[in-house]
A and B are shown apart, each in its own frame.
Chain A
Amino acid sequence: MEVYITGVGLTKVGRHFDLGLRELAARAALEALDSARVDKVDAVIVSSTLSYREAGQFDLAGHLAGALGLKGAQTFAVEAGDASGLAAVEAACSLIRAGSAGRVLVVGVDKLTDYVSSRVYRDLQRLYEAEVQALYDIGHAGVAGLLARLYMERFGVSRDTLSYWPAMDHSHAKHNPYAMLPFAIDPAAVPKALKVAEPLTLLDSFPLGDGAAALVLESEPHGDARAKVVLATSAAGYPSFTMNEDPLAPESVGEVAARLREVTGIAPVDVDVIELGDTFTSIGLILAESLGLSEPGRAAVDAMEGRFTLGGDGPVVNPSGGLKARGHPVGATGVYMVGELALQVSGEYPGLKVDGARRGLAVIASGDGSSAHLVLVEGVA
């Protein structure tokens, strides 16, 4: 059975001090329902990673569905760390393909600004193996910092070259009305910015922001469908990146890329547009290389040479601005990605538009690759 994306709702990622978790989620959800021109759904799946810690609401999906007037819908929440949003889409597709639901509302939401940043860093540490490894004060950026140095020394890539990755994200984000940081940055500014986890700086790191995004997924296109989901899948990796044979090649990411080839016959490099879960510059480079978009050690150079932007010879990567500049409201991010890709392949994307894009791919590996998640969408025109 096909799965069509009929509705998309995106809120601007930012510091929504005036909106609670419920109000923020509702904005995206109602917009998605309106854009699909429906008001009832069979199921509501909520994707949220930090809300239990930050908002303290259990059964967030039930509470939110009720608050949206959707009583009676099947409802549950999905959590897969950084990749929760893609996992929620995967769950929705499974419900639809199994015939359990004909129309599913997926809502991703997280607020990272309701508490002080040091607390959010502490909570984000839980993305990593929490009993031993993240017992240390690794912060949200420590592992990415370790990987950045490993990457630079292994491949002889300079700090200055790394900076072209976030600069690429920002150059794309300036067109995105939903981006938290819609402005370009000078790559030379990146190494000079506030150090977060040396060698990484604030300009290598996703900003702490709030956001909600929502999708309506349906078994019938209704004539309003933006896209269809060709594949939504995921693969568990290791409990710690230290267990990978090569820490710079997380096996979970290699596994979802291999599955994409097996199921669809295409490789990541064959699609038109890709949204990557580049929480930090080093994670973005590792993801791009593990997916085969660049040779090992080459992703930053490829970004510098414009390979991943409009007019480049690779897929356009992160036209949204990526996690660096669109932002990363953790549980919402995957939903943003799929919504953005649906709008790209239907020609409706309000930001950096990839003309004629037919296939869009979203990939997030949570934390240090404990699991990797992939969604491939395709235009229906």
Chain B
Amino acid sequence: MSMDLSVPETWRVKGALYRLEAARCKACGRIHYPPMPACPYCGSRDLERVTLPSEGVLESYTVVYAVPEGSRHKAPVLLGLVRLGRVRVVAEITDADPSELRTGMEVEAVLRRIRSDREAGIIRYGVMFRPKLKGGSRGG
């Protein structure tokens, strides 16, 4: 029996991965994601947890064909640089064809399986982004 993915780590990062929990610095006011032990901008340790908006704009994207092991089933992997308010995050884009991606398009967070540890190990769920669903005035 062997496991590639850390079980405690899966548990530790769920705030960031499930709910886009970020950190806001009370000293300089800047927000960073994922949360770090101190503010990367000013070094202050006076941080509070905030939740990033679940909708944002695609600032850049790439279609990864050189996929890492264990991800062939979802190749090519669509990767996005997403702006959520004042913060950028990198995450996979799902439910889209490469040809429909455009910078500037609206995207929304969904929960997906990011990785699963072979047949028997832990499953890591987390946020991915998809093109905003049409009928989109609903659901904000």
Give how many A residues have a beta carbon under 8 Å from the other chain's beta carbons.
Answer: 41
Contact B126 A195 (CB under 8 A): no
Given the contacts A121-B68, A137-B92, A143-B90, A197 and B17 also touching, CB distance less than 8 Å: no
The reply to whether the CB of B123 lies closer than 8 angstroms to some CB of chain A is no
The reply to whether the CB of A51 lies closer than 8 angstroms to some CB of chain B is no
B contact residues around A121 at 8 Å (CB): 66-69
The reply to whether the CB of B62 lies closer than 8 angstroms to some CB of chain A is yes
A contact residues around B50 at 8 Å (CB): none
Contact A133 B90 (CB under 8 A): yes
| Binary per-residue interface labels of chain A (136-148) against chain B in the complex, 1 for a CB within 8 Å, 0 otherwise | 1111111101111
Contact B92 A136 (CB under 8 A): yes
A contact residues around B103 at 8 Å (CB): 149, 153
Q: Complex formed: what's the CA distance from A131 to B35 in Å?
A: 11
The reply to whether the CB of B7 lies closer than 8 angstroms to some CB of chain A is no
Q: Complex formed: what's the CA distance from A118 to B90 in Å?
A: 21
What distance in Å separates the Cβ of B54 from its nearest Cβ neighbour in chain A? 16
The reply to whether the CB of A122 lies closer than 8 angstroms to some CB of chain B is yes
Contact B124 A141 (CB under 8 A): no
The reply to whether the CB of A132 lies closer than 8 angstroms to some CB of chain B is yes
Cβ-closest chain B residue relative to A133: B90
| Binary per-residue interface labels of chain B (26-66) against chain A in the complex, 1 for a CB within 8 Å, 0 otherwise | 00000011101000110000000000000000011111111
The reply to whether the CB of B9 lies closer than 8 angstroms to some CB of chain A is yes
Given the contacts A135-B124, A136-B91, A142 and B34 also touching, CB distance less than 8 Å: no
Sorting the interface of chain B by its residue count into under 10, 10 to 19, 20 to 34 or 35 or more gives: 35 or more
B contact residues around A247 at 8 Å (CB): 81, 88
What distance in Å separates the Cβ of B77 from its nearest Cβ neighbour in chain A? 5
The reply to whether the CB of A220 lies closer than 8 angstroms to some CB of chain B is no
Contact A139 B67 (CB under 8 A): yes
What distance in Å separates the Cβ of A322 from its nearest Cβ neighbour in chain B? 19
| Binary per-residue interface labels of chain A (186-222) against chain B in the complex, 1 for a CB within 8 Å, 0 otherwise | 0000000011111110000100000000000000000
What distance in Å separates the Cβ of B87 from its nearest Cβ neighbour in chain A? 8
B contact residues around A118 at 8 Å (CB): 67-70, 72
The reply to whether the CB of A129 lies closer than 8 angstroms to some CB of chain B is yes
Given the contacts A135-B13, A136-B79, A198-B98, A145 and B67 also touching, CB distance less than 8 Å: no
Contact B16 A195 (CB under 8 A): no
Contact B13 A240 (CB under 8 A): no
> Which 6 pairs across A and B sit closest by C-beta, in order of nearness?
A145-B62, A122-B68, A137-B71, A242-B88, A118-B69, A198-B63
20 CB < 8 A contacts A-B:
A117-B66, A118-B67, A118-B68, A118-B72, A122-B70, A129-B34, A132-B33, A135-B17, A137-B64, A137-B77, A138-B77, A141-B62, A141-B64, A142-B90, A149-B103, A150-B59, A153-B103, A195-B65, A198-B76, A238-B40
Which residues of B line the A interface, CB within 8 A? 9, 12-13, 16-17, 32-34, 36, 40-41, 59-72, 74, 76-77, 79-81, 87-92, 98, 103, 114-115, 124, 126
